[in-house]
Amino acid sequence: MSGTDRAGGPADMTLGPVLISAADIGARVADLANQIQRDHRAGTVRFLVALKGAWMFAADLARVIRSDVEVEFLRASSYGARTGGCGQVKLTGLDELDLATARVVVIEDIVDTGRTAQALLDHLERSGAESVRVASLLSKPSRRIVEVKIDYLGFEIADNFVVGYGMDCGEAYRNLPDIHVLQRSP
Ligand code: IMP
Ligand code: MG
């Protein structure tokens, strides 16, 4: 089955063309991993991975970095951010983490409105971490409501809904190797 005729996902949406190919993602991820390694030369980097969307990006980054990487996960979900609602962000799994003196890199799939990243950064301010940086595979600057500094950014994209390379729509498409635009079915 080819990528474009696969079943799954909401019935009114279809998989559109490739926006960013696996090869382009791989090259960019290697660049970002090298930057992260340079910025954390001595000692351990603690990845703080925002599930679920950032899982593949985090795994690929970690495999390029030659210094020590520890990996922690949290769950970030937002309500109403797309539909014009309050955009409340719920973070789960952070309270159990001891990040005192850690050098943290938050790993995000997309910074869209910026609310998730900001909520995370607000929380981490109280964590006692030595440093906190943000890596995001994608950014949609035209959608920004809260300005956040992204230290390691893969690609800026326009305001399209995208899937693949870890990112979903209704839990479908996460395993696609390329990033695709999702389109309304004709
Ligand atoms: P923010 O809080 O508005 O920045 O939302 C960030 C989160 O929304 C991302 O981590 C994704 O989980 C989700 N998201 C935003 N845009 C897309 C998209 O185009 N495809 C899949 N998920 C998206
Ligand atoms: Mg996410």
* Tens digits of pLDDT across the chain (186 residues): 444 445 567 778 899 999 999 999 999 999 999 999 999 988 899 999 999 999 999 999 999 999 999 999 999 987 654 544 467 899 999 989 999 999 999 999 999 999 999 999 999 999 999 999 999 999 999 999 999 999 999 999 999 999 999 999 999 999 999 999 999 888
Q: What span, in angstroms and rounded, lies between the C-alpha atoms of 118 and 168?
A: 22
Q: What's the 140 CA to ligand 1 centre distance in angstroms?
A: 9
Ligand 1 and 53: CB distance under 6 A: yes
DSSP string across 40-61: T-SS-EEEEEEETTTHHHHHHH
What's the pLDDT at 7? 55
Q: 84 is written with which tokens?
A: 């014009």
Does 45 sit in the ligand 1 pocket, CB within 6 Å? no
Q: By alpha-carbon position, which residue is closest to atom 17 of ligand 1?
A: 161
Q: Which of 73, 165, 167 to mutate to test the pocket of ligand 1 (most atoms within 8 A of CB)?
A: 167
Q: What pLDDT, on a 0 to 100 scale, did the predictor assign at position 186?
A: 81
Start-to-end CA span in the chain (Å) = 21
